[in-house]
Amino acid sequence: GESVGLHLPTLSVQEGDNSIINCAYSNSASDYFIWYKQESGKGPQFIIDIRSNMDKRQGQRVTVLLNKTVKHLSLQIAATQPGDSAVYFCADNAGGTSYGKLTFGQGTILTVHP
């Protein structure tokens, strides 16, 4: 992902709905991707990751989908709860000579209404 210095997009859902948060990345050499959740006043917290040799990975209530053809990543949250309200970021790990470089996407503000 690359931060483009824009204010964050928002997604509002009702409690119990499924949420889908999208992320585009630009580096075709990226081979590892992470989703983070950030609550107000806190540092980002790990949710789920996926490597480039996979196209889907599931966790508890979350699923990450990776489409390398169009350089797109999505995070699906099942049965969204008010506690899921936060900012969600994707991050990608560059390969090759930029080994170790971890950059973040723009982020999405998720608001869950009871």
Q: What residues line the site for another protein (CB under 8 A)? A: 1-3, 5-8, 31-32, 34, 42-46, 49, 51, 89, 91, 93, 98-107
3-state secondary structure of 38: strand
Dist CA 110 CA 81 (whole Å): 11
CB of 16 to another protein, least distance (A): 28
3-state secondary structure of 60: coil
Amino acid, res. 97: T
Please identify, using beta-carbon distances, which residue of 14 and 40 lies nearer to another protein: 40
3-state secondary structure of 97: helix
CB of 46 to another protein, least distance (A): 4
Please identify, using beta-carbon distances, which residue of 73 and 107 lies nearer to another protein: 107
CB of 104 to another protein, least distance (A): 4
Give kind and range of the element (H or E) at residue 58: strand 56-58
